[in-house]
Amino acid sequence: MAPSSRATLSIDLDALAHNYHVIAAEAAGAETAPVVKADGYGLGAAPVARRLWAEGARTFFVARLEEGEALRAAIAQRSARIIVLDGFVPGSGPRLAAAALTPVLNSLDQVAAASQFARAASVALPCVLQVDTGMNRQGLGRDQAAALTQSDRLAGLEIELVMSHLGSGAIPDHVRNTQQLAAFQAVRALFPQARASLAASAGAFLGPDYRFDLVRPGISLFGGGPQERPDPRLRAVARLEAPILDIRHVGAGELIGYGTTIAAEQATRVALVGAGYADGVIRATRRGGQAWAAGALRRLYIVDMDLTVVDLGDGLARPGDMVELLGPHALLDDQAQAAGSIAHECLVRLSNRARRLYLGAEAA
Ligand SMILES: *Cc1c(COP(=O)(O)O)cnc(C)c1O
């Protein structure tokens, strides 16, 4: 019997390093700049970024100002460039400057606020300019970006990087990719001094046209395939395991757990596993998700707050044996698909109830 019924989340920093080098090789010629927002996709921005620094990463992206401040404190090397995707939120200038964070400018308002701050402080403020090329989310309009170059609105700002984001990068032959690529090439020509970045994980695997000077992978660093399905080149970084607490028999047609829909098709044995949605197993994975138990992938019946029920069939297992709910067998993209979601969400939902274990060194 396991000494504790608690689940274990192991985070394999060697697998992370492997994935970083796979992406860096795929995007050869461009800088590979890890995205470690949302606490490194839930896996710990500090250990993740320290290891990626040791592997050669020098530029990191976060979403929030606070994430940037925490990352700056966690990475001793002041020369790491940390870019904040939320950008120049009004009033954030002093804190961005104190932590040497580079804001992304996502709108004309942000451009104005950043320029005003830079002029008042008499500094040249390094910035990233985001232009919307067809995703219709963040970024200046293309006409706005073009007009900027004809104005003095960039006074005090040093645009180091021009970026945009693909909306359909996970679908390689989608027409929006080529449309966004063409739009981005035009935008880039407006800012010849700046470096350029279009690709996240998906785009980094779309071929040389999409790489530009810098790629911004997040999910593929953590093992999620660039096309939202398992990619054998990438290794699982997160592994969630929990012990079998009990094994029970269920008769043919009997309902299992809450509700009236989930029944055993035939008489079977089920394992009660000590992890549930409070540990980050997405409840919707009961519709088609699988767990690795007794040496095989086996059907999940239910995911409750503290328990997951797995069909053992005739598999040999005893209470105390570990079951993998996410990891090198129960693959991130497959679990995400079963849950009707994407790998990103499956990772960030992993909670702190599971005991965390880091494998591999933080610094090489
Ligand atoms: C989150 C994010 C990324 C990383 O995306 P992945 O799909 O995880 O690789 C890159 N760029 C921007 C602007 C993002 O918001």
Least confident of 46-55, 93-102, 156-165, 255-264: 255-264
> One of 37, 210, 277, 301 is an active-site residue; which one?
37
Q: What is the mean pLDDT of residues 128-137?
A: 94
Separation CA 54–CA 140 (nearest Å): 34
From the CB of residue 362, how many other CB atoms can be counted at a distance below 10 Å? 16
Report d(CA 281, CA 289) in Å as an integer: 10
Task: Compute the distance from residue 99 Cα to the ligand 1 centre, in Å.
Answer: 22
Collapsing DSSP states into helix, strand and coil, what is residue 308? strand
Average pLDDT over all residues of the chain:
95
What percent of the chain is predicted at pLDDT more than 70?
Answer: 99
User: What's the confidence (pLDDT) of residue 364?
Assistant: 58
Ligand 1: which atom is nearest the Cα of residue 224? 8
Tokens coding 253 = 């047609």
Full set of structural domains in the chain with CATH: 13-222 (3.20.20.10), 238-359 (2.40.37.10)
Give 325's pLDDT tier (boundaries 50, 70, 90): very high
Report which of residues 208 and 254 the model is more confident about. 208
Does the beta carbon of 219 lie inside 6 Å of ligand 1? yes
Residue 1's pLDDT is what? 46
Which letter does DSSP use for residue 287 in this model?
T
Instruction: Measure the CA–CA gap between 73 and 70, rounded to whole angstroms.
Output: 5
Q: What is the pLDDT of residue 5?
A: 82
- Is the CB of residue 163 less than 8 Å from the CB of residue 197? yes
Query: What phi, psi does 127 have (nearest 5°)?
Result: -140, 165
pLDDT at 3: 62
Region for residue 224 given its phi and psi (left: phi exceeds 0; alpha: psi -120 to 50; beta: otherwise)? beta
239 lines ligand 1 (CB under 6 A): no
Q: What is the pLDDT of residue 65?
A: 97
* Distance (Å) from CA 97 to ligand 1 centroid: 24
For a mutational test of ligand 1's pocket, the pick from 216, 221, 222, 344, i.e. the residue with the most ligand atoms closer than 8 A to its C-beta, is: 216
Higher pLDDT residue, 28 or 259?
28
Q: Is 258 a catalytic residue?
A: yes
- Please give the number of the atom of ligand 1 that sits closest to the Cα of 204: 9
**pLDDT of the residue at 78:** 73
Reported as type and span, the H/E element at residue 126 is: strand 125-130
64, with CB counted inside 10 A (0-12, 13-18, 19+), is middle
Q: What would the pLDDT profile of 210-245 be if each residue is shown by its tens digit?
A: 999 999 999 999 999 999 999 999 999 999 999 999
Q: Mean per-residue pLDDT for 126-131?
A: 98
- pLDDT, tens only, 259-292: 777 888 899 999 999 999 999 999 999 888 999 9
Ligand 1 binding pocket includes 11 (Cβ within 6 Å): no
Atom of ligand 1 lying closest to residue 217 CA: 9
State the Cα–Cα distance between residues 37 and 23, nearest whole angstrom. 18
Task: Give the pLDDT confidence score for residue 263 in this predicted structure.
Answer: 82
Q: Evaluate: CB of 57 within 6 angstroms of ligand 1.
A: no
**Runs of H (alpha helix) within 75-209:** 93-98, 108-121, 142-149, 175-190, 201-204
Angstrom CA distances, 258 to 207, 285, 303, stand at 48, 15, 10
SS3 content of the chain, % helix, strand, coil (to 5): 30, 25, 45
Are the C-beta atoms of residues 347 and 43 closer than 8 Å to each other?
Answer: yes
Q: What is the separation of C-alpha 299 from the centre of its chain, rounded to a whole number of angstroms?
A: 26
What is the number of the ligand 1 atom nearest to the C-alpha of 35? 4
Please list the residues that pair with 255 across neighbouring strands. Answer: 263
- Give the model's pLDDT for residue 353: 94
Residue 151 per-residue DSSP state: S
Q: List pLDDT tens digits, range 295-321.
A: 999 999 999 999 999 999 999 999 999
